[in-house]
Amino acid sequence: MEQLVYLLSNVGFPIVICLYLLMRIEEKLETLTNAISSLGSAIVSMKE
């Protein structure tokens, strides 16, 4: 039982936190990618 608690606290918790942060970063990167694409379209339309 003590080994399970040790594994969860020292291995499981950091893995869960890393996965959570990676998912959040992925969402932010997708939003930034969409914004950059729309800025590119806006620049092209301004040149015309």
Q: Please report the pLDDT score of residue 19 as a whole number.
A: 96
- Domain ranges for the chain, please list them: 1-35
What's the pTM value of the predicted model, to 2 decimals?
0.62
Tokens of 40: 């590119």
Extract the tokens encoding 4: 């399970």
- Longest CA–CA span in the chain (Å) reads 69
Structure confidence at residue 9 (pLDDT): 87
CA dist., res. 12 & res. 14, Å (int):
6
Which whole-number Å values give the CA distances from 32 to 25, 26, 35, 37, in the listed order? 10, 10, 5, 9
3-45 pLDDT tens trace? 888 888 899 999 999 999 999 999 999 999 999 999 999 998 9
